[in-house]
Structure 1
């Protein structure tokens, strides 16, 4: 049945029997046969067809969502069985929220590949809620998230690191030239360049505003941390960013941390898993996270 689901998912993703056949290295009649048998076994039609394309109907959407979870579980089971007799190798699907995924995770994966070259990582970057949901539905082996998210009973979480959030400006900004610490009033009068609502970084910024009783006069939203850094360097305003995200700019003298009473504030990062059974590849990765060599 897993092969039938695999063929079905490929057809659904390619929206075309011929393209799916090419992807699967099968003939088109063979692909059609797999779909027909699956629909007969489930006693429901899954695809709506026209001359060129196919698309999922409501039943097909339900089967597709569950097929991803079933195949993910089957693959994980096979990897666990393989681990009984082999060293750490095989696929490892990692998800991470933006700050960790973009500025820290690449260094950890490079270290892991040096030590364990047979591990094959794939990375998904998304917001905290998305990553936690992917883990819960077995579409990721592990997630690395920040901030708050809905914790389901079968999700296991472990806080493993803290990250300082600091106010940042360009080196030519008036606040950067001012001696000593700046006041809350100074901060409120600035143009703030922030991530969009719903991101972990924006949640941290809003918490700092509440803590310091700051009501910014002007806020400009950007959809990525890199865009925010470019905006700050151009003199557009100030921001609250992770120290992890600005290491290169601090070394090169492009950005400067603004000293403020009550800052920096620390936010926690957690790893999230959904199964007590871990492949050796996942165990190796978790151990690298816990060792914190990447913080040096």
Structure 2
């Protein structure tokens, strides 16, 4: 009842008339008067005083009106948000994307999605894959993309979207560009490596490859961007392991050579879409369905 009484107070002030306020709220004027009387009794003070036919707010009424506006607006926002849960074609959607997936996954996916659902307001939060998992756990994002060779979590669901080979990326003039293939990881001992920074799924994956092969890599630089890694390889500063599709343009133009590696022949680096067990927001449910269908058709 308190909300309805505050709504009545706001309507009277904004309409400047008991009659117009009653019409706006579609209630009778006696019901309007009873609501204000009960509100005044609840707080033990008068909110209006009559000056002839005019109603004038008391100081307490002015303060109560400010709160009434805030409450009515908050309830309206809540109603919109709850409606968005059931009306997935409009409303907010927050996605998380690891640095490995931001450039390669989202642009070709978001283009057709936003054309089909232009009223969905998409926000993208970026960071390392581990940070995106944490953001999904805490509810900061609705869904998250990461890339890893494997993913396990006690309750988050992981939908594999794409799996691809990992190759050794070397500069076009590098001696390994013309070596008999496939190479062995052990043959790379001593090579200057350019690697993703520690604390990422991709770096964890590479560290396992080195450890299983008994190789201690000569790490020249560690960076947080696949784009930077490719530029450093092109510049001849070292070699690195990359998912094959990430260098297809550079390989096609001869700036980088993709060298097969024996130990990676059966390894697949996977793009995952992560989701909580029960997707609450309707726009997120729609996006999850759209994404899985999009990749199924590729």
- Please report the TM-score for the alignment, with normalisation by the length of structure 1: 0.66
**CA shift for structure 1 position 83:** 4.9
Q: In structure 1, how many angstroms separate the alpha carbons of the residues matched to 2:160 and 2:78?
A: 24
**Contact preservation (8 Å) 1:204, 1:267:** no
- Aligned pair 1:270/2:272, yes or no? yes
Cα deviation per residue 1:86-136 (whole Å; 9 max; x = unaligned)?
A: 461221100011111122112111121122222221111111221111112
Question: Of the two, which has the highest radius of gyration?
Answer: 2
Counterpart in the other structure of 1:42: none
- Two-structure CA RMSD over aligned residues (Å): 3.0
Aligned CA distance change for structure 1 residues 75 and 224 (closer, same or farther; 3 Å): farther
Aligned equivalents of 1:182, 1:87: Cα separation in 2: 50
User: Is the partner of 1:104 in helix, strand or coil?
Assistant: helix
Tell me the residue number matched to 2:181: 180
Change (3 A) 1:75 1:102: farther
Aligned equivalents of 2:77, 2:172: Cα separation in 1: 51
Residues of 1 paired with 2:111 and 2:296: CA distance?
A: 10
Q: Which residue of 1 aligns with 2:23?
A: none
Aligned residue in 2 for 1:285: 287
Q: Secondary structure at the match of 2:228?
A: helix
Residue 182 of structure 1 aligns to a residue whose secondary structure is coil
**1:164 CA displacement:** 2.6
- SS at 1:107's partner residue? helix
Residue segments in structure 2 that go unaligned for 5+ positions in a row: 1-62, 68-73
Is 2:236 aligned against 1:235?
yes
| Residue pairs, 1:154-233, within 5 angstroms | 155-233=156-234
**Cα distance in 1 between the residues matched to 2:192 and 2:104:** 25
Give the secondary structure class of the aligned counterpart of 1:262.
helix
Q: Is the 8 A contact 1:194 1:221 kept in 2?
A: yes
Counterparts of 2:176 and 2:274 in 1: how far apart (Å)? 39
- Secondary structure (helix, strand or coil) at the match of 2:216 reads coil
Q: Which residue of 1 aligns with 2:250?
A: 249
Assess if the C-alpha contact under 8 Å between 2:114 and 2:120 holds in 1: yes
Q: 1:236 to 1:88 in 2, by over 3 A?
A: same
Matches within 5 A, 1:138-153: 138-147=139-148, 151=153, 153=155
Partner secondary structure for residue 130 of structure 2: helix
Query: The residue matched to 2:165 in structure 1 has which SS?
Result: strand
2:94 corresponds to 1:88: no
Aligned to 1:129: 130
Q: Could you tell which deviates more after superposition, 215-224 or 225-234?
A: 215-224
Checking the alignment, whether the CA contact within 8 Å between 2:151 and 2:158 is kept in structure 1 is: no
Give how far 1:75 is off: 7.9
The aligned length equals 224
* 1:76 CA displacement: 9.1
Q: Are residues 123 and 294 of structure 1, via their aligned partners in 2, closer, same or farther at CA, if it must alter by over 3 Å?
A: farther
